[in-house]
């Protein structure tokens, strides 16, 4: 398959990119921020919303299957786990406070169920955060410098 890195590879109209004298935004994810990030959170391509971002749990499609947005080139790196933990642990903190204040003491079985739920919620939050970060990166055009790096 031919590597397509520049917008002109997709649109014959782009003779030079970005157009002279402009700081043109990337063509990907042209919709508004809430739409772009919302699609990412839902695990859909932030650019078109018609195809999934992920090939499996967290593996990102190199190109969107529908619009060929360069999803795989977006360096989400450490941001998704950071965001996921920031959100999930704030909710967890509520349970910790309840526990220490003595409002709620789960039995051993319930504690196990809650721990399993926590793990599942963390996994779901991580996937949503990664989708959102890829949406943000795509909209900002923050492509990885070296696709193999």
Q: What is the chain written as a DSSP string?
A: -----SHHHH-TT-SSSSPTT--PPPSSS-S-HHHHHHHHHTTB-TTTSSSBSBSSSSPBPSS-TTT---GGG---TTHHHHHHHHHHHHHHHHHHHHHHHTS----HHHHHHHHHHHHHHHHHHHHHHHHHHHHHHHHHT---SSTT-
Tell me which stretch binds Zn ion (CB under 5 A): 22-30, 63-71, 78-86, 123-131. 63-71
Q: Does 67 bind Zn ion (CB under 5 A)?
A: yes
Q: Does 64 bind Zn ion (CB under 5 A)?
A: yes
Site string for Zn ion, 117-146 (x = CB under 5 A): ------------------------------
38, 41, 66, 144: which one contacts Zn ion (CB under 5 A)? 66
Under the rule (CB under 5 A), what is the footprint of Zn ion?
45, 47-48, 64, 66-67, 69
């Amino acid at each position: 398959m031919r590597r397509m890195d520049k917008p002109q590879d997709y649109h014959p109209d782009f003779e030079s990119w970005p157009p002279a004298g402009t700081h043109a935004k990337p063509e990907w994810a042209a919709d508004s921020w809430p739409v772009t990030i919302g699609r990412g959170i839902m695990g859909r391509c932030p650019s078109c919303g018609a195809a999934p971002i992920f090939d499996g749990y967290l593996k990102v499609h190199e190109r969107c299957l529908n619009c060929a947005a360069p999803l795989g080139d977006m360096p989400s790196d450490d941001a998704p786990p950071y965001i996921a933990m920031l959100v999930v642990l704030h909710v967890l903190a509520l349970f910790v406070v309840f526990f220490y204040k003595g409002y709620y003491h789960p039995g051993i079985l319930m504690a196990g169920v809650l721990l399993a739920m926590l793990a599942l919620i963390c996994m779901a939050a991580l996937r949503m955060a990664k989708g959102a970060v890829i949406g943000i990166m795509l909209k900002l055009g923050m492509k990885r410098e070296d696709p193999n790096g």
